[in-house]
Amino acid sequence: MPVARPKAGTGAPPEAFRPRPQGAKPDGGDPVGGAGAAILAEKILPPNPWGRTLERVTISLSDDFADELTAFMAAHSYGNRSEAIRDLARIGLERSRSEPSNTAGHCVATLSYVFDHHTRELSKRLTEAHHGHHDLQVATLHVHLDHESCLEVAVLRGPTPAVRDFAERVIAERGVTYGAVRFVPVDIDAGAHTHGSGRRAHSHIHPKG
């Protein structure tokens, strides 16, 4: 099953959201417009539109992502940033809950991510992460997208929990602006049979289904 995590600047499919009526009652969140977002870390006590306690968190956005969020809010008639970000978060959590809980067995996977190579020591951390999990690595493709951004695609193989943990740690690194991992569950057939002129024991990987 695919697991994708949109990060700053990646947006989200419009059909995943319900439009808000113009002039919707604000909930105390940030107004539309302007760059960045800063929500204080504190509790909001009732009364509020839901009649329950809310917790504010701090979110830092790049100017480009803030502009993209503002355009998204205008297209879907959101009255403030808080409501838009809450819906984006809900969709991410719903996707996470919908993932199969059974992660036993083995898989092959592709991990793709974009990162800013100017981020302090990020390239070093990513390289060390790959070397630290060399048993999962099959191959890596590195592409220079522009003066700052790089795309890497890694082919991974191994126990599904280990592959998932490694992929999620890479995607969560500061400076990684987009990350996605796609899993292919496999069966491993270990045995001895003939290839060419010799007979030797080795394993074959068979995709399930």
Tens digits of residue pLDDT in 110-145: 999 999 988 889 999 999 999 999 999 999 999 999
Higher pLDDT, 67 or 50: 67
Which segments of the chain does DSSP mark as H helices, in order? Answer: 63-75, 81-98, 122-132, 160-171
The model's pTM? 0.55
First-to-last C-alpha distance (Å) of the chain? 13
> Residue 153 region, left (φ>0) first, then alpha (ψ -120 to 50), else beta?
beta
> What's the pLDDT at 64?
84
Residue 186's beta-bridge partner residues?
A: 106, 207
Q: Do residues 117 and 178 lie in contact, with contact meaning Cβ atoms separated by under 8 Å?
A: no
Pick the CATH number of 106-188 from 1.10.1020.10, 3.30.379.10, 3.10.50.40, 3.30.70.1150: 3.30.70.1150
C-alpha 107/C-alpha 109 separation (Å) is: 6
Indicate where the chain has its CATH 3.30.70.1150 domain(s). 106-188
> What's the pLDDT at 13?
44
